[in-house]
A and B are shown apart, each in its own frame.
Chain A
Amino acid sequence: MSALQTFGIVIFGVGAVVSGWLVFRTDSMVRAAYWLMASFVAVGAILVTLDSQFLGLILILMMAGEMTIMAIFMVMFMMNPAGLNPMVMVHQHRTAIAAGVGSFLLLATVALVADFPADPVPLGADPTAELGFELLGRSMLVFESAGVALLAVMIGAVAVAGKWGRFGDADAGSVEPELEPEEGGS
C-alpha cells in the first residue's frame, strides 16, 4: 500500500468518525441526515482505496438515496427540522456514552491484540470482475435471495405503513399520548 493510500484512509477515516459524531450534535435533523451521508461517503471512499471500487460506489449511491428519503421523513415527522432552535432530544445520556465508549474500547482491543493472517489482495487482481463472476456464478442463490428479501420487504413495508388497519383505518381515534414525568425525576 502506497503512502498516498494510507494517508487517504486515515483522512477519510477521521472524516467518517467526525461526521458520524456530528449526526448527534447538530440542531437540525435534516442536517443530521446529511452528516450521516457524509460519514457513508467517507467510508465508501475508504472502500474504493481498498480495491473495492464497486462496493464503495454502491454504498455511496445507496446512501445518497436513503439519506434523502430520511431527510424527507425528518421534515414530515419531526419538530425543528430546520435547526432554528437548539435541540437536545436524548435520554439515558451517561449510559449511552458509557456503552459507546465501552464498545469502542472492546473492539479496539480486539483489533490491536488479535493476530490476523496477512494475506492481502494480490497485485494485479480485478476484484470487481471476480465479484461479478461470484454473484452470477456459484453464489447466485445468495444474490437472488437478497433480491427476493428486498421484494418481500417492499410489500411488507407498504402493508405496515398503509392507512388501512386490521380493524379499519389505522389512524381512527388516534390520540397523541401525553408525556409522563420520570418517576423520581425533576
Chain B
Amino acid sequence: MIEVILLISAAIFGVGVYGALSQQSFVMIMMGLELMINATVLAIVAFWWGTTGGDPRGQLLVVVVLAVMAIEAAMGFALVTAVYRVRKADITEKLKRLRN
C-alpha cells in the first residue's frame, strides 16, 4: 500500500514542479511550491505509517515541515508585496532587469 501512496505523492510533486516552473505570476509559483510541500507531507506520513512501527518522531517531522510551509507562505507573500511596492511587478517577466 505504501507504494500506492508514494505514487500519489510523486504525481502531486510532479504537478507542483510543473506549476513552479511554468507560471509567470508570483502567487501561482508559490502554489506550485505549496503543492510540492503537500506531496512531501504525504510521503513522510506514508513512511511513518508503513515503515517506522509508529515512531512519533515521524509525525514530528511533519510538524516541522508544516512550520516550513507556513514560513514559506509568510515570506513569499511579504516578498510579493515588497516587489510590488518597489517595481509595480506582479509577474516574473517584469523582473528580468534588476538594474535601476
Question: Would B28 and A17 count as touching, CB distance under 8 A?
Answer: no
Q: Is the interface of B mostly helix, strand, loop or mixed?
A: helix
Bound CA–CA A183/B35 (angstroms): 32
B53-100 residues at the A interface, CB under 8 angstroms: 53-54, 56-57, 59-60, 62-64, 66-67, 69-71, 73-75, 77-82, 84-97
A135-179 residues at the B interface, CB under 8 angstroms: 135, 139, 142-143, 146, 149-150, 153-154, 156-158, 160-161, 163, 165, 170-171, 174-177, 179
Q: B79: nearest residue on chain A (CB-CB)?
A: A160
Question: Would B31 and A47 count as touching, CB distance under 8 A?
Answer: no
Tell me how far the C-beta of A23 lies from the nearest C-beta in chain B, rounded to whole angstroms: 6
CB-CB < 8 A to B31: which residues of A? 23-24, 32-33, 36, 70
- Which of the residues B53, B63, B86 comes within 8 Å of A165, measured between beta carbons? B86
The size class of the interface chain A forms with chain B is 35 or more
Assuming A51-B49, A100-B15, is B63 touching A121 (CB within 8 A)? Answer: no
CB-CB < 8 A to A17: which residues of B? 8, 11-12, 15
Question: Would A119 and B15 count as touching, CB distance under 8 A?
Answer: no
Assuming A39-B35, A165-B86, is B64 touching A97 (CB within 8 A)? Answer: no
CB-CB < 8 A to A54: which residues of B? 59
Interface size on B, residues (CB 8 A): 80
Assuming A96-B21, A96-B22, A116-B51, is B10 touching A107 (CB within 8 A)? Answer: yes
Assuming A13-B5, A43-B38, is B25 touching A89 (CB within 8 A)? Answer: yes
Q: Is the interface of A mostly helix, strand, loop or mixed?
A: helix
- Which of the residues A74, A100, A146, A158 comes within 8 Å of B18, measured between beta carbons? A100
Asked if A58 CB lies within 8 Å of chain B CBs, one says yes
Assuming A24-B19, A135-B63, is B85 touching A174 (CB within 8 A)? Answer: yes
CB-CB < 8 A to B34: which residues of A? 36, 40, 66
Assuming A9-B5, A33-B31, A108-B7, is B12 touching A119 (CB within 8 A)? Answer: no
Question: Would B15 and A21 count as touching, CB distance under 8 A?
Answer: yes
Question: Would A29 and B27 count as touching, CB distance under 8 A?
Answer: yes
CB-CB < 8 A to B9: which residues of A? 107, 111
Q: A55-B63, A116-B2 are in contact. List 18 more A-B contacts (CB 8 A).
A: A17-B15, A24-B15, A29-B28, A43-B41, A46-B5, A73-B27, A77-B80, A78-B90, A89-B24, A99-B17, A103-B10, A120-B50, A121-B48, A130-B59, A134-B59, A139-B60, A174-B86, A174-B87
